[in-house]
Amino acid sequence: MRGARTRAFHIPLVALFIAMVGILELLPKPRAPWGMSIDFVAVPVLVAFFLLGTRYALAVSVGMLVILSFIGGGAYIGATMKFTATLPMFLMPAFLLYTPLFSSSKSPRAYAHLPKYLAAVALAIMVRCLAMIALNYYWAVPLFLDMPIEEAIETYFFGSIWGFVWFVSSMNIVQGIVDAAASWLIVFGSKLHERLPKLS
């Protein structure tokens, strides 16, 4: 009975987080001084991870994929890229909870301890960059620009594979830091995790 009540409480929260993804996608996006557009659509996914756990964060991320496929700027290509980039941001921290470093707690609320979270974020962003370099190289850039990757690198990435790697990595490092910092501040910086019951 308690499990049913818990799930009944989780489902509206997941729906709320997915709705927030849509709202955040429609809001004007700030731009970095070098022209990169920064968004906050993945923040509800990470907040769901901290408060509800990995399964529910995955549910919100799937909802994000569906919503961005319809209203996102890059249609299904952009939605798939955002979904793939977001997965490491909570799956890597979730994985670390089951290593000896985090053996005292399996709850995402262990990341209220900032040094632990910084270590998890560093690993998450590293995996994110590797995944996005591969996905951009083999799929997204050739499809989006409608040209072979070699021609795209020559035209848009300074004619160098390292220019391509640096461009993709720099964007994902900045966006990853934004996602990680904003979600941590919302949940732990504001002490939201203390005002809500333990949901995960």
Read off the pLDDT of residues 126-145 as tens digits, 9 standing for 90 and up.
999 999 999 999 999 998 88
Per residue in 147-185, pLDDT (tens digit) is 999 999 999 988 899 999 999 999 999 999 999 999 999
Q: Would the pLDDT of 33 be above 70?
A: no
Spatial separation of the C-alpha atoms in residues 15 and 63, rounded to whole Å: 9
What pLDDT score was predicted for residue 120?
95
Q: Residue 40 CA to chain centroid, in angstroms?
A: 9
**Least confident residue range of 34-38, 51-55, 76-80, 117-121:** 34-38
Name the average pLDDT for the chain: 89
> Residue 50 corresponds to which tokens in the numbers above?
């901290």
Domains in the chain: boundaries:
2-195
Instruction: Kindly state the average pLDDT of the residues 111-130.
Output: 95
Those residues whose C-beta lies under 8 Å from the C-beta of residue 157, and which sit 6 or more positions away, are: 163, 164, 167
**Do residues 80 and 65 make contact, with C-beta atoms less than 8 angstroms apart?**
yes
Helix axes 149-156, 161-184, angle to 10 degrees: 80
Spatial separation of the C-alpha atoms in residues 45 and 75, rounded to whole Å: 19
Q: Which of 40, 195, 183, 2 is nearest to 108 (CA)?
A: 183
Q: Would the pLDDT of 192 be above 90?
A: no
Beta strand ranges found along 71-139 (DSSP E): none
State the fold for domain 2-195.
Answer: Arp2/3 complex 21 kDa subunit ARPC3 (1.10.1760)
Q: Would the pLDDT of 1 be above 50?
A: no
Q: Residue 84 CA to chain centroid, in angstroms?
A: 8
